Chain A
Amino acid sequence: SQTIHQWPATLVQPVGSPLSLECTVEGTSNPNLYWYRQAAGRGLQLLFYSVGIGQISSEVPQNLSASRPQDRQFILSSKKLLLSDSGFYLCAWSFLLHQTGGETQYFGPGTRLLVL
């Protein structure tokens, strides 16, 4: 069976510090991978998605970046955190992207980031 891991679970960082959040998937190959940010009690904002190693699509301009160094590893980074980067970060994977929809995304447990 497939599992998705995220770490750390919680992170408190000062403004201006770097960030690295990691997401790994087990039990599948060549998954589509996604990073979302969620404000408290609200919907998900797609940040990045990747359909393969080294292939990253960015949804919104920001001071965050993403990388996919391995097939089942997705990393979210920042060189200098802003207060507005605080939030709940969710990684997700899906299998076989379908242009006509019907794609199920499986989410990780999330990382709660607080920038002070």
Chain B
Amino acid sequence: TQLLEQSPQFLSIQEGENLTVYCNSSSVFSSLQWYRQEPGEGPVLLVTVVTGGEVKKLKRLTFQFGDARKDSSLHITAAQPGDTGLYLCAGIPSGTGRRALTFGSGTRLQVQP
């Protein structure tokens, strides 16, 4: 089983629509990160959320960290074709002694013009 579950796995929408991607876990994370990956390239960091309940905005992207620090969401307003890609959440679970990021399974977003 995945430590970080992302939903939906795949999303195809029309340009201008809004969408939300979820990243859930039964474990507590000291922080969570969101990456975007385009085909044939490595993931690129979008944001890091650290405080429970924190909301960060990056242009049309809004990221939220759950109050209990077990989940996070990414909301895109008025999606554009340039938003197409694989969105990955990642983090290090608290208290595990783990020293490397765990990545979610990813949400593949396709925005049709």
Q: Which residues of A contact B (CB under 8 A)?
A: 32, 34, 36, 41-44, 46, 49, 51, 57, 59, 90, 92, 97, 99-110, 112
Q: Which residues of B contact A (CB under 8 A)?
A: 2, 6, 29-33, 40-45, 48, 50, 86, 88, 90-92, 94, 97, 99-106, 108
A109, B40: Cα distance in complex, Å: 7
- Given known contacts A59-B100, A110-B40, A105 and B86 CB-to-CB distance under 8 angstroms: no
Residue of A nearest to B2 (CB): A43
Residue of B nearest to A41 (CB): B108
Cβ–Cβ contact A34 & B100, under 8 A: yes
Nearest 10 pairs of A and B residues by beta carbon:
A107-B42, A101-B31, A101-B30, A43-B105, A44-B103, A43-B106, A100-B30, A49-B100, A101-B92, A43-B103
Residue of A nearest to B96 (CB): A99
A90, B110: Cα distance in complex, Å: 23
Distance between B16 CB and nearest chain A CB, rounded to angstroms: 24
- Given known contacts A101-B31, A104-B33, A46 and B100 CB-to-CB distance under 8 angstroms: yes
- Given known contacts A49-B100, A104-B48, A43 and B88 CB-to-CB distance under 8 angstroms: yes
Residue from the set A44, A59, A106 with the largest chain B CB neighbour count within 10 Å: A44
- Given known contacts A41-B86, A43-B88, A109-B42, A103 and B108 CB-to-CB distance under 8 angstroms: no
Cβ–Cβ contact A43 & B100, under 8 A: no
Cβ–Cβ contact B31 & A100, under 8 A: yes
What residues on B are CB-neighbors of A49 within 8 Å? 99-100
Distance between B42 CB and nearest chain A CB, rounded to angstroms: 3
What residues on A are CB-neighbors of B88 within 8 Å? 43-44
A43, B35: Cα distance in complex, Å: 11
Cβ–Cβ contact A57 & B99, under 8 A: yes
Cβ–Cβ contact A101 & B103, under 8 A: no
- Given known contacts A90-B42, A105-B45, A107-B43, A99 and B99 CB-to-CB distance under 8 angstroms: yes
User: Can you list 5 pairs linking A and B with CB atoms under 8 Å apart?
Assistant: A51-B99, A104-B45, A105-B101, A107-B44, A109-B41
